């Protein structure tokens, strides 16, 4: 197979972890007889520094023509002042809108080899395998915004089609897993959540009667993710709720450095990135955890290139590296922590075997 993959490393540790993921993709190509055309472009703070824009036209053009996008992270302290009109994070938001990437898939898996890194009791983590689907292009993040010296507002808006497509995606993926879908909202308070719940109920009743549906308020979901996480299968929710809940859920896995994500839309083109952010405090030190970026590359193989065997091989190689005790500093190593390159090398060695 031939594929064109856009590389947008971004800022902070983004280039470091993306490099390791790319090297793993090269091994996959060699092992399984594929050919990747890898093309890199700037985004985020690096792009602002060079062009004044977080998503330059050339980067957007590349993203629109590639089969898939492997993304690092964006963000830098020099642009963290809320008074800045141009910010690195606008680059990823614009990409999602321009590419129609309306759903963010975030798997939460508790790898047995590093279960001790989670702050939760080990017995609570047995069997935890959750897929959170976050609506990505609507809600309060994209609504009309106003601000004066004394007042500010962010408008939260959802439409029926936006909710329908998330409900359908969640139900389809639940059918492939354990057949249970949990819809998270705040329907006791918010009109957008009342619309969300009514649409989900209708779609499930009419199109997916075989999938078990339940509803949960977002505050209860936050509690039960820690109290009984193994009860969840597929979880769908709106943009801001999903942003918060998935960061919380990352603590089940033990570290943000183990959590991958895929942003997908109606086509096979998707954007794949670790959820950990740019971590500028450790950038350039060679200690960042690359496992989430590598697992994001596995999701790229699965969802955009439809290469399930290759995706499973890369995921199994990550498990093998963790089982061999190759832990970066965030994973509570028993001895000297592995470097970013050490972890990448361990995955590639497992792939070679």
Q: Exactly one of 186, 233, 291, 330 is catalytic; which is it?
A: 186
Q: How far is CA 97 from the centre of its chain?
A: 16
Q: Exactly one of 205, 210, 219, 285 is catalytic; which is it?
A: 219
Indicate if 217 belongs to the active site: no
Cα distances from 208 to residues 9, 105, 211, 213, 249, in angstroms, run 39, 20, 6, 9, 27
Q: Exactly one of 217, 247, 332, 345 is catalytic; which is it?
A: 247
Indicate if 79 belongs to the active site: no
Q: What are phi and psi of 216, to 5 degrees?
A: -150, 135
Place of tokens 């970066």: 328
Give kind and range of the element (H or E) at residue 166: helix 160-175
The closest alpha carbon to 136, from 94, 185, 178, belongs to 94
Indicate if 2 belongs to the active site: no
Within a 10 A sphere around the Cβ of 129, how many other Cβ atoms?
Answer: 14
Q: Exactly one of 243, 272, 330, 342 is catalytic; which is it?
A: 243
| C-alpha span between 109 and 106 (Å, rounded) | 10
| C-alpha span between 256 and 273 (Å, rounded) | 12
Contact 269, 277 (CB under 8 A): no
Q: How far is CA 153 from the centre of its chain?
A: 27
- The token duo for 276 is 């950990």
Contact 183, 147 (CB under 8 A): no
Indicate if 141 belongs to the active site: yes
| C-alpha span between 106 and 115 (Å, rounded) | 18
| C-alpha span between 187 and 195 (Å, rounded) | 8
Indicate if 291 belongs to the active site: no
Q: Exactly one of 11, 79, 102, 141 is catalytic; which is it?
A: 141
Catalytic residues, by residue number, are: 141, 186, 219, 243, 247
């Amino acid at each position: 197979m031939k594929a064109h993959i856009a590389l947008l490393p971004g800022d902070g540790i983004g280039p470091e972890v993306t490099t390791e993921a790319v090297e793993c993709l090269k091994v996959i190509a060699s092992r399984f007889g594929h050919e990747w055309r890898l093309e890199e472009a700037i985004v985020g703070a690096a792009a602002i520094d060079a062009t004044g824009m977080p998503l330059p036209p050339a980067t957007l053009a590349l993203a629109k023509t590639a089969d898939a996008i492997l993304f690092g992270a964006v963000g830098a302290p020099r642009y963290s002042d809320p008074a800045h009109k141009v910010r690195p994070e606008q680059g990823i938001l614009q990409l999602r809108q321009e590419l129609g990437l309306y759903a963010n898939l975030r798997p939460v898996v508790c790898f047995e080899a590093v279960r001790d890194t989670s702050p939760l009791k080990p017995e609570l983590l047995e069997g935890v395998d959750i897929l959170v689907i976050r609506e990505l292009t609507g809600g309060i993040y994209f609504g009309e915004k106003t601000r004066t010296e004394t007042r500010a507002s962010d408008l939260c808006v959802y439409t029926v089609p936006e909710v329908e497509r998330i409900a359908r995606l969640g139900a389809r993926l639940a059918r492939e897993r354990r057949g249970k879908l949990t819809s998270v909202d705040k329907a006791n308070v918010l009109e957008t959540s009342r619309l969300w719940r009514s649409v989900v109920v209708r779609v499930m009743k009419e199109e997916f009667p075989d999938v078990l549906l339940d509803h949960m308020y977002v505050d209860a979901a936050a509690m039960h993710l820690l109290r009984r996480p193994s009860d969840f299968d597929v979880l769908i929710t709106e943009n801001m709720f999903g942003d918060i809940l998935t960061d919380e859920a990352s603590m089940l896995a033990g570290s943000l450095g183990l959590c991958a994500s895929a942003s997908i839309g109606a086509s096979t083109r998707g954007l794949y990135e670790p959820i950990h952010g740019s971590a500028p405090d450790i950038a350039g030190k060679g200690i960042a955890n690359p496992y989430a970026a590598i697992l994001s590359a596995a999701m790229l193989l699965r969802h955009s290139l439809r290469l399930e065997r290759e995706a499973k091989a890369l995921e199994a190689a990550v498990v093998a590296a963790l089982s061999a005790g190759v832990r970066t500093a965030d994973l509570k190593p028993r001895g000297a922590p592995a470097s970013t390159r050490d972890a990448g090398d361990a995955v590639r060695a497992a792939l070679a075997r």
